[in-house]
Amino acid sequence: MTVASPWLIPEHVGTGRLRAHAVDHDDRLNLNGRWDFQLLPTPESPIGAEWTTLTVPGAWTMQGIGDTPIYTNVTMPFDGPPPRVPPANPTGVYRRSFELPAQWASHRVVLNVGAAESTLLVSVNGHRIGTSSGSRLAAEFDLTGALRPGPNELILTVVKWSAASYLEDQDQWWHGGITRDVYLYATGDTYIADLTAVADYDADTAGGSLELTVQVDGRLDPGHRIEVRVAGTTVGAEVPVRQARELPSAAGLPPELDDVDLFGLHSATIAGQPMAPGLRPLADALLARLFPGPAGLVTVRAELPDVRPWTAETPVRYEVVVNLRGPDDTIIETVTQRVGFRRVAISDGNLLVNGQRIWIHGVNRHEFHPRTGRTLTRADLERELAVLKRHNINAIRTAHYPPQPEFLDLTDEYGFYVFDEADIECHDYAATLCGDARYLPAFVDRAARMVLRDKNHPSVIAWSLGNESGYGPNHDAAAGWIRSADPTRPLHYEGAIARDWHAGHSATDIVCPMYPTPEALRIYARHPHTRRPLIMSEYQHAMGNSNGSLDAYWEAIRSEPYLQGGFIWELWDHGLDPDGDGRYRYGGDFGEAVHDGEFCIDGLLFPDGTPHPAMREVRHIFGPLSVTDTTDLLDGRLTLRNERTFADLGDLAVTVAVATEAGTGPERTVAMPALAPGEKGVVELPTATSADLIGAGTVALHLYVRTATDTVWAAAGTELDVRQVVVRPQQTSYPAAPSANPVLDLDDVGLLRHPLLTTPPKLCVWRAPTDNDLSRFVRGRLLRTGLDTVTRTCDQVARTDTTATIAARYLTAGGAEIGHTQRITLLDDGVLRFDELVTVPEKIAELPRVGIELQLTPGFERVIWFGDGPHENYPDRRAAALLGRWDAAVDEMPVPYLRPQENGGRGSVSWLCLRGAHQVALAFDQPMQISVGRNTIEDLRSHRHVWELPHRETTVVHCDIAHRGLGSASVGPDVLPEFRVGPGIFAWRWHLALGQEALS
Ligand code: GAL
Ligand code: MG
């Protein structure tokens, strides 16, 4: 059955498609690789004679065939209204032939197309087989009748724009083509069509149970039987597939129907099957109740008193093997399913896993790859998930569609809580499509097929109805379908609570707002109507140099009821690099007519997978252990707390080291007490470390938390966090020797002259705007005063040979005047002392920084500083920064945010030295925010991509007495008030030693 022009029809979801299911059939023929391809201008265009070749899977938009990616956030890339489809509609025709394996001659053969954007039409040997819409779920078609022995020709036609595109208006790149695997599989004419494994765990009895429902389809004979083993132990043997009389759905049978005659009661046998690595054997006896159901449906229930539960911290899985036996007792088919025993529940306003309130240390994750668009290998997925585990992230929202299937196998294995999201976002038409009955089938289809595919994954703990699609009856329909089909998991849908956090109960069990302030969380937690757990669907917009005040969110979350965390927006910077030259592109770089620029560059990972410095903060705030009491530190004792929910800390190795002015001392192992989840305990520091602590020059104790054993995601010894206890907050001395033949040389406007300076020390009140600074409401405030353009006027210079007092004014483009008095003193040892006095008038309500900028001549290569490091940190993102003495190449200090902006800051700095052929040292009487790099503010401001920045040899140094925090205002709250910089008087003293011999 086919439909003419299905891409035009909003009701179309698919024709001739097989039912979605959760079974993996092993007997496969992989069809990935090079396919013949042609791109037609419209779906109606005739197929030409010219074919090129293209890689499957992989978006065609990334393979240089003429149709390029388009980035839009909310706006549809073509004119509506729905269901209008543009006449220019790139259509890819994929062709390949395959040999039908000889052993498949009498088999049923199924085609699986993992994902096609956006409407797929399938034909084989000239027969039209079927169609499908929905770009992020597999479509399966039974090809059996259309195949012939020997070579067969398969044509997959993919129409880029369809009525369904309006449901796929996620904030990401628009691509086209086949983006996931394509394969065939074969089954017998009687086959296991589906498997539903409900693996439950009861924390009160510490026992598990398995309810396994097997759907057998095809030709059913009385002799067909199912046999089930869990971890090598038979829990159901000889269960007849077909019963004489039909029964109601077996899964719903009450236990009193447990009639031995009809259902059979089997005690277990230990079969001792070999287990796959990483899976646990099950030793104890089992009881199984067997419920043969209506034709083809078999349910086996087993109590498993000794299973170990699955959690994200303890991802223990067991292997379930289902054999389908024929009347002659041969095994027709074997299906293997890994299960994890766990129970998800919402109780008293808390989301519980195995009875415990969990934390959602989550990220939103798109499928992204800079070279292929969104096609990822298993190795890519492993690398990505390993990065998350190593940063203590325990939860993923699959924003905004179901991921490729292997992803969930890995989240089961590695241990993550997954909110699996349906591929529904009609953002541009959010107000209408959720109530448009023409789109009702698609809403339900997308939700239902996700559930049918992913229901057996222990990592999936909640279903999401999609994203940014308003809230309407189509949502309630999808919610109803899921609730009835899978009562074991709660629902998540932000649209249902977008207007009122206490509303939307039929479509969401979790209050899942986007980008609230920490304060809003507290208000919710204390509100008398509050009944549901709150997990932010999105927060902490990670665009550019961002993620200020993550700690403030977690202070609120950890101290109030109902709050359980959230998902940071988002994991990836979606910078595309089709030709592999390392120049990542964003919206507009492909000549798109309509686009949203750099707004897709908003992740915690650079496009190549390197973490942004913000990931250090994430890692720290989600760390497995914390220091809760330091009162007895100088007596060599610390109180630590296990911050986990389920696991002890036995898999971790903890060491300590003392940071001093001179550097960090030796690391020594701490004997950790056994701490149950949530438990506190006192540790004794190694004697030598205690002795170091009370020694001279100690500034902090650093406590390193590392993995003690190899895991799938990290080798033993991988650092998971470093905690610190500051003993003495800062140093004021600086490690510089006197300079020779010092003079105090000023130009005629009172600026210091020195052979090592290309720009003298001047007041600086501006920073290259971060993405957050450019957000609408912040930009207004920061730019209104015209701080980006200031003119300096020198009013007076009063000087002697060794002192100078320079009074200057800085006039902003907005007409405000900042006063700056600088008193420079040449000290006996040749060092210059600066006393700065800056007056920022009330007229300037906010400014990004108050500090000194200077620029050094070429030749400085290393920087050593004493302050917060080693990674980039800012006043509202420094929880993970460590106070100490750090050493780095000047070129390593900047952070290559794809759109250039303020970056590379380090806080709490009391001195820094720049080294090369010469040495320059700066020391401060108060902790400063510094940055060291090659590019000026103007360089950063005026270039669109980091790879366009000019390469300079000079070194630009900023030392700020006040520096605005980062916030996350590109979407979300501005910098919290305590991290803003406002008017007032700023006074500080610092020393500059120019041009000594480099110290060793
Ligand atoms: C959210 C949306 C995301 C993304 C983000 C901004 O509103 O759900 O898909 O657009 O804003 O980057
Ligand atoms: Mg959106």
DSSP, residue by residue, 67-115: ---EEESSS-SS--STT---S---EEEEEEEEEEPGGGTTSEEEEEE--
Residue 750's pLDDT band (boundaries 50, 70, 90)?
very high
Q: According to the model, what pLDDT value does residue 244 have?
A: 34
Residue having the nearest C-alpha atom to atom 3 of ligand 1: 171
Which atom of ligand 1 is nearest to 399's Cα?
Answer: 9
Please tell me the distance between residue 392's alpha carbon and the centre of ligand 2 in angstroms.
Answer: 27
Residue having the nearest C-alpha atom to atom 11 of ligand 1: 971
Residue 233's pLDDT band (boundaries 50, 70, 90)?
confident
Q: According to the model, what pLDDT value does residue 539 have?
A: 98
Residue 281: pLDDT above 50? no
- Ligand located closest to 596 CA: 1
Q: What would the pLDDT profile of 250-270 be if each residue is shown by its tens digit?
A: 333 333 333 322 222 232 222
Please tell me the distance between residue 783's alpha carbon and the centre of ligand 2 in angstroms.
Answer: 28
Q: According to the model, what pLDDT value does residue 263 have?
A: 29
Q: What average pLDDT does the segment 953-973 reach? A: 97
Nearest to 606 by CA among 173, 172, 966, 946: 946
SS3 content of the chain, % helix, strand, coil (to 5): 15, 40, 45
Per-range mean pLDDT, top range of 240-244, 914-918, 938-942: 938-942
Q: According to the model, what pLDDT value does residue 500 have?
A: 97
Q: According to the model, what pLDDT value does residue 294 have?
A: 61
Residue 9's pLDDT band (boundaries 50, 70, 90)?
very high
Q: Is 590 helix (H, G, I), strand (E, B) or coil?
A: coil
Q: Out of 569, 899, 970, give the residue to mutate to test ligand 1, the one with the largest number of ligand atoms within 8 Å of its CB.
A: 569
Q: According to the model, what pLDDT value does residue 2 have?
A: 55
Q: According to the model, what pLDDT value does residue 785 have?
A: 76
Residue 627: pLDDT above 50? yes
Nearest to 826 by CA among 845, 794, 800: 800
Vertex 598, ends 596 and 601: CA angle to 5°?
Answer: 120
Residue 999: pLDDT above 60? no
Instruction: Identify the burial level of 662 via C-beta atoms within 10 angstroms of its C-beta, where 0-12 means exposed, 13-18 middle and 19 or more buried.
Output: exposed
Residue having the nearest C-alpha atom to atom 6 of ligand 1: 971
Nearest to 599 by CA among 838, 776, 792: 776
Helix (H) or strand (E) holding 688: helix 687-693
Residues facing residue 913 across a β-bridge: 864, 921
Residue 283: pLDDT above 90? no
> How far, in Å, CA of 886 to CA of 913, rounded?
10
Residue having the nearest C-alpha atom to atom 10 of ligand 1: 171
Which atom of ligand 1 is nearest to 467's Cα?
Answer: 8
Q: According to the model, what pLDDT value does residue 730 have?
A: 65
Q: What average pLDDT does the segment 219-223 reach? A: 84
- Weakest mean pLDDT among 307-321, 717-731, 890-904: 717-731
Residues facing residue 724 across a β-bridge: 702
Residue 150: pLDDT above 60? yes
Helices (H), 371-472: 378-390, 405-414, 440-454
Which atom of ligand 1 is nearest to 599's Cα?
Answer: 12
Residue 735's pLDDT band (boundaries 50, 70, 90)?
low
> How far, in Å, CA of 507 to CA of 475, rounded?
7
Q: Which two tokens stand for residue 876?
A: 């509202």
- Ligand located closest to 572 CA: 1
Share of the chain above pLDDT 90, in %: 86
Q: Which two tokens stand for residue 927?
A: 């902790």
Q: What would the pLDDT profile of 121-149 be if each residue is shown by its tens digit?
A: 999 999 999 999 999 999 999 999 999 99
Residue 541 contacts residue 968 (beta carbons within 8 Å)? yes
Q: Which two tokens stand for residue 297?
A: 């449906």
Please tell me the distance between residue 467's alpha carbon and the centre of ligand 1 in angstroms.
Answer: 9
Cβ within 8 Å of residue 639, ≥6 positions away:
627, 628, 629, 630, 680, 681, 682, 683
Tell me how crowded residue 338 is: count the other CB atoms within 10 A of its CB: 21
Residue 585: pLDDT above 90? yes
DSSP labels, 591-653: --SS--GGGGB--SB-TTSPBPTHHHHHHHHT-SEEEEE-TTGGGTEEEEEE--SS--STTEE
- Ligand located closest to 514 CA: 1
Please tell me the distance between residue 467's alpha carbon and the centre of ligand 2 in angstroms.
Answer: 7
Residue 424 contacts residue 465 (beta carbons within 8 Å)? yes
> How far, in Å, CA of 107 to CA of 463, rounded?
35
Task: Work out the angle between the directed axes of helices 405-414 and 378-390 (0-180°, nearest 10).
Answer: 40
How far from 191 is each of 292, 328, 334, CA to CA, in Å?
16, 15, 9
- Weakest mean pLDDT among 212-216, 351-355, 450-454: 212-216
Please tell me the distance between residue 578's alpha carbon and the centre of ligand 2 in angstroms.
Answer: 24
Helix (H) or strand (E) holding 550: helix 550-559
> How far, in Å, CA of 16 to CA of 10, rounded?
17
How far from 765 is each of 114, 769, 849, 856, CA to CA, in Å?
53, 12, 5, 19
> How far, in Å, CA of 902 to CA of 930, rounded?
11
Helices (H), 749-865: 776-784
Catalogue the active-site residues: 468, 538
pTM for the model: 0.95
Instruction: Identify the burial level of 790 via C-beta atoms within 10 angstroms of its C-beta, where 0-12 means exposed, 13-18 middle and 19 or more buried.
Output: buried
Helix (H) or strand (E) holding 299: strand 297-304
Which protein residues touch ligand 1 with a CB less than 6 Å away?
A: 73, 170-171, 467-468, 514, 538, 541, 569, 602, 971
Residue having the nearest C-alpha atom to atom 9 of ligand 1: 171
Q: What average pLDDT does the segment 523-550 reach? A: 98
Residue 732's pLDDT band (boundaries 50, 70, 90)?
low
Which atom of ligand 1 is nearest to 600's Cα?
Answer: 12
Please tell me the distance between residue 321's alpha carbon and the centre of ligand 1 in angstroms.
Answer: 41
- Weakest mean pLDDT among 172-176, 188-192, 254-258, 895-899: 254-258
Residue 828: pLDDT above 50? yes
Output 614 or 223, whichever has higher pLDDT. 614
Please tell me the distance between residue 171's alpha carbon and the centre of ligand 1 in angstroms.
Answer: 6
Mean pLDDT of the chain: 92
Q: What average pLDDT does the segment 322-341 reach? A: 95
> How far, in Å, CA of 382 to CA of 414, rounded?
9
Residue having the nearest C-alpha atom to atom 4 of ligand 1: 171
Q: What average pLDDT does the segment 778-789 reach? A: 81
Q: Out of 74, 75, 168, 171, give the residue to mutate to test ligand 1, the one with the largest number of ligand atoms within 8 Å of its CB.
A: 171
The whole-angstrom distance between residue 118's C-alpha and the CA centroid of its chain comes to 25
The whole-angstrom distance between residue 671's C-alpha and the CA centroid of its chain comes to 34
